Amino acid sequence: MSFLSYLQGISREKLKLALYSATSDDVERALNSAEGDLNSLLALLSPAAEPYIEQMAQQSVRLTRQRFGANIGMFLPLYLSNLCANECDYCGFSMSNKLKRKTLNGPELEAEMAVIKKLGYDSILLVSGEHETKVGIDYFKQVLPQVKNEFSYLAMEVQPLAEHEYAELVGLGLDAVMIYQETYNPQTYAEHHTRGKKKDFAYRLDTPERVAKAGVDKVGLGVLLGLDDWRLDALLLGHHLAYLESKYWRTRYSVSLPRLRPCTGGITPKVEMTDKGLVQLICAFRLFNQQLDISLSTRESPELRDNLFSLGITNLSAGSSTQPGGYVNPDTQLDQFEISDDRTPVQVSHAMKQRGLNPVWKDWESAWIGG
């Protein structure tokens, strides 16, 4: 059974009702059970869990330190291109947006990598808009060996690919694929994705499974908080995760919990996600899944990020630029979205150390793996 048919077998109404009618007893049961499961995730994401956020945070910290120690993995996004053949109304890269378009060529990529390496990073996330013809598999095949030469850990956040394409990229050094569903509500999905291949909800939904089948080390899932009811979207994200974990148990998983941010020509969030909600979300996922990687982006403010660091986060970017060529030329106005924490990696790692956390710049050596 694919995840699509799994999802179709779930009644959204029933699940929503269960979520909003969870009681404090359900929350306490979840807090007291040693292992997280989908029932406990439901309780911890529910409004009934709000008075328990401090307790959730205490447990989240304990479980995170127990599993990951005080380490936080540092990574940086490298934007390869802002070309995109889709229309997503929350994103600055949308096709119809008047924006200078750019795709890095070999020397430009080299120059970007040189700047990033000087910042201390050894873990990179390659990002592009979704443009199959100009920034497709041939381009990736060309770029990956060049990047892998410089960085130990290589993740990608690009358009969905076919299973054999992912497998080919694994051979070239691909370690992780981030593929965010944005929302698990097909109707809301259709409203926000109005043109291009990304309109295909089902194809996107089954992408993480193709990634796992292709033998990629880590799969990243995510929802864009603000598009729909975040509690329900997060719960369905949990279902997706549980489905994948039970089927592809050799794979590692991460989640990313970005809040919708203002961008060129973008929309304002339909559903408000408060700071408190974000804390609840992070802690609920930690209690649900103790081995999960949870990433925090630079979309959040420095003050909030400092407070969130220790609550269950395992991966972090700092000093990010969201435009192709942005590390060499910072002011080209090609951004995907605005970032809120514009501190340098050194400043952020200083703040982390003050909280007793240890930024980890290198955490992977592919030479050990698969030979």
**Contact positions vs other proteins (CB under 8 A):** 28-29, 31-33, 35, 53-55, 57-58, 61, 246, 249, 275-276, 279, 303-304, 307, 310-311
Q: Binding string, 173-212, against ligand SF4, x = CB under 6 A?
A: -------------------------x--------------
Task: Report what 22 binds from other proteins, ligand SF4, none; CB cut-off 5-8 Å by kind.
Answer: none
Instruction: Identify the residue among 129, 312, 324, 326 touching ligand SF4 (CB under 6 A).
Output: 129
Can you tell me the distance from the alpha carbon of 5 to that of 9, in angstroms, rounded to the nearest whole number? 6
Can residue 94 be called a binding residue for ligand SF4 (CB under 6 A)?
Answer: yes
Site size with ligand SF4, rule: CB under 6 A: 9
Q: Are 51 and 26 in contact (CB under 8 A)?
A: no
CB of 233 to ligand SF4, least distance (A): 16
Which CB, 310 or 336, lies closer to other proteins? Answer: 310
β pairing state of 87-88 and 193-195: antiparallel
Can you tell me the distance from the alpha carbon of 125 to that of 153, in angstroms, rounded to the nearest whole number? 8
Which CB, 307 or 332, lies closer to other proteins? Answer: 307
**356 CB neighbour count, 10 Å cutoff:** 10
**What does the CA dihedral 222, 14, 284, 178 come to, rounded to 10 degrees?**
-10
Can residue 227 be called a binding residue for ligand SF4 (CB under 6 A)?
Answer: no
Can you tell me the distance from the alpha carbon of 147 to that of 126, in angstroms, rounded to the nearest whole number? 9
Can you tell me the distance from the alpha carbon of 297 to that of 337, in angstroms, rounded to the nearest whole number? 12
Which CB, 1 or 367, lies closer to other proteins? Answer: 1
Can you tell me the distance from the alpha carbon of 298 to that of 358, in angstroms, rounded to the nearest whole number? 18
Which CB, 198 or 261, lies closer to ligand SF4? Answer: 198
DSSP classification of residue 172: T
Footprint of ligand SF4 (CB under 6 A): 84, 86, 88, 91, 93-94, 129-130, 198
